Amino acid sequence: MSNEKNIPSLEQSREAIDRIDRELVKLFCERMGVSADVAEYKRSVGKAVTDAARERALLCKISELAGPEMEEYARTLYASILSISKAYQHERLNTSSKLEGKISAAVKDTSPFFPARAKVACQGVEGAYSLKAAEKLFACPEVSFYKTFDDVFAAIDRGECRYGVLPIENSTAGSVTQIYDLMSNHRFYIVRALRLKVDHCLLATPDTKIEDIKEIVSHQQALSQCAGYIANMDGVRATAYPNTAKAAEFVKSAGKGYAAIANKDCANIYGLTVLDEDIQDNGNNYTRFICISKTPEIYPGADKTSIVLTVPHKPGSLSRLLTQIDAMNINLTKLESRPMPGHDFEFLFYFDLESPIESPALLRLLGELESSSEKFRYLGTYREML
């Protein structure tokens, strides 16, 4: 009973918190004032705003001062304070990074209208979902088909096509990891994105019935999206193919006993019969496509930015980076990690950030991430079509 009597009431605790908060806000404003003085000194001696060694030393000191129980919380708090402080210093100094200049130039040089006609590279053959995406993105695309996703990137590099359209993730089966791996090997920029509703059909030659099927072929993503449907077909093998439309083309020549998972258009293109429609496990099945170019193009309404970077292989590194993004009040819509080729236990992190390209906070954040990351690439700022 004596312990209960010593516990302050909720009202007393809230009054104490209010008093402490008033002191904290006062000290925070005082600290930001000193930070402004630091910015002016850095301007006078030509020193960069970011001082990684100083930040590491400060976070270590904060951890020590907070003690074992509170050090993680204190370090997270001060990582945010440091991020806010650097943003304030950049604002005071009116500084801009090379990346900010590159983005501003792209905005200035890009036409206000997304092109209606263009040469576009797609993987696969007639009937591929990438073609359907290209036809949604462009009113009149001049499409060239390539055998592999790598070939699409290479076509953009060589200037054979101005744009390439590639699938990057599906709402059911997840990311197309091959695209993420290729993204680290090629220089390109995302200029637009599209979410395409995907309805899969089971296609076979006219003389084939469902009970005749022994093998189903399609792209691995399509097979994953229809895994439940396939599992209910006793004794039927599922075989991955480079492309859904290419699978339909194969079934046309393979004949009875084979079926393809593809879109309905492939039935007309390759003389096949639709045995079943909408066979994906999730009716709300969307694939996200990106449209890439060799040079950055930033069109009006662009509000999504993609970047890739590395973080130090140390505990808390990613957490502090996420705190930095949160401190700028920028929405993180996607985070994807992929192993870094040739580096054991090191990863590339892909981020999608949601913020209008006109936002000063976004430009400052990108500049800070570029200067503080060992490896950093800006992948573009664009609008996503629905």
Per the structure block, which two tokens stand in for 80? 């945010």
Structural domain range at position 173 = 99-197+286-385
Question: Does the structure show a pLDDT above 80 at 312?
Answer: no
Residues with catalytic function: 287, 289
The C-alpha atoms of residue 259 and residue 215 are separated, in whole angstroms, by: 6
- Decide which of 258, 277, 296 is a domain's last residue: 277
- Decide which of 277, 305, 332 is a domain's last residue: 277
Helical (H) or strand (E) element with 182: helix 177-183
The C-alpha atoms of residue 239 and residue 232 are separated, in whole angstroms, by: 16
Q: Are residues 236 and 270 in the same domain?
A: yes
- Decide which of 62, 95, 128 is a domain's last residue: 95
Q: Are residues 112 and 14 in the same domain?
A: no
Per cent of the chain over pLDDT 70 is 97
Q: Are residues 174 and 303 in the same domain?
A: yes
CA 75 to chain centre: 27
Contact 372, 50 (CB under 8 A): yes
Q: Are residues 9 and 56 in the same domain?
A: yes
* Residue 74, SS3 per DSSP: helix
What is the radius of gyration, based on Cα positions, of the chain?
A: 27
Question: Does the structure show a pLDDT above 70 at 37?
Answer: yes
Q: Are residues 39 and 64 in the same domain?
A: yes
Q: Are residues 65 and 119 in the same domain?
A: no
Contact 355, 361 (CB under 8 A): yes
Q: Are residues 316 and 260 in the same domain?
A: no
Residue 232, C-beta contacts closer than 8 angstroms, at least 6 positions apart: none
Q: Are residues 256 and 225 in the same domain?
A: yes
DSSP assigned state of 320: H
pTM, to two decimals: 0.81
pLDDT tens per residue, range 114-159 = 999 999 999 988 999 999 999 999 999 999 999 999 999 999 999 9
pLDDT tens per residue, range 84-122 = 888 788 777 776 678 888 999 999 999 999 999 999 999
CB count, 10 Å around CB of 339?
12
Comparing C-alpha atoms, which of 164, 118, 106 is closest to residue 366? 106
Report the CATH number that the domain containing residue 263 is assigned in CATH: 3.40.190.10
Per the structure block, which two tokens stand in for 9? 């009431």
Mean pLDDT of the chain: 89
Q: Are residues 85 and 122 in the same domain?
A: no
Question: Does the structure show a pLDDT above 70 at 83?
Answer: yes
Q: What is the mean pLDDT of residues 334-354?
A: 83
Q: Are residues 106 and 193 in the same domain?
A: yes
Give the number of domains in the chain.
3
